[in-house]
Amino acid sequence: MHINNQNIGCLFDLDGVLVDTAVYHYKAWKDLANSLGFDFTEAQNEHLKGVNRMRSLDMILEWGGVEKTAAEKEVLATTKNEAYVKMISKMTESEVLPGSLKLLQDLKASGIKIALGSASKNSGLILERTGLAPLFDAIVDGNHVGTSKPDPEVFLKGAGLLGVEAQHCIVFEDAQAGVQAAIAGKMKVVGIGQAANLMGADVVISDLSGITVEEIVALIK
């Protein structure tokens, strides 16, 4: 198939790529752990990035050596989420990470399709608060998938909604689990952050101001 911009798809992770909601996740999980009588470090928190809510809770409880029933875990996850939603409800456009808005606008102007591929069940609120929502052709988040990254489901669904073949998709990810998900989906990956945390990415940049539409298109041609 001849590749033109209309059959290229860009799939963006949310937390750590477009916005830094990780600080709010960390605060809400830390408060929850403290209420249970233990703490965890920022280094441990790195392992929660890209991981869905219930899996994150399981990891934190394991770090604290605390066991809970399934029903108790539901209550704890809800408590954390309520605190988190309270914080993200106050987010503004100023919290969009450097280069994100310009790259999304440039991609849109060039006719390349754009989807969200996030583990979060709160992506709708975040995209609305930060003004990014109108730039997306499709949204796939934690409400639409049964598996968590590194399973490629979230990105394959995004490609399907965009009507673009997987090999014509480029994923933007800040978490190792997300890079693995993109590779499992046979997609190209742009890693955001430190190369050591993004093994297998085709290119690694520190934020979205570090790449142009031309460089993105060149990745699949």
Give the residues lining the site for Mg ion (CB under 5 A).
13, 15-16, 50, 174-175
Q: x/- contact string, 56-85, with ligand B16 (CB under 6 A)?
A: x------------------------x----
For residue 169, the cross-strand partners are 9
14 sits near ligand B16 (criterion: CB under 6 A): yes
Residue 100 structure tokens: 């994100």
148 sits near ligand B16 (criterion: CB under 6 A): no
Q: Is 15 a catalytic residue?
A: yes
User: Which residues 6+ apart lie within 8 Å of 145 measured at CB?
Assistant: 151, 153, 154, 157
Burial grade of 78 (CB within 10 A; 0-12, 13-18, 19 or more): exposed
Stretch that binds ligand B16, among 35-43, 46-54, 158-166, 193-201 (CB under 6 A): 46-54
Q: Looking at 100, 118, 130, 180, which residue binds ligand B16 (CB under 6 A)?
A: 118
- Beta carbon of residue 19, minimum distance to ligand B16 (angstroms, whole number): 9
201 sits near ligand B16 (criterion: CB under 6 A): no
Alpha carbons within 13 angstroms on the beta-carbon side of residue 94 total 1
Q: Residues 180, 74, 26, 124: what is their CA dihedral angle, to the nearest 10 degrees? A: 70
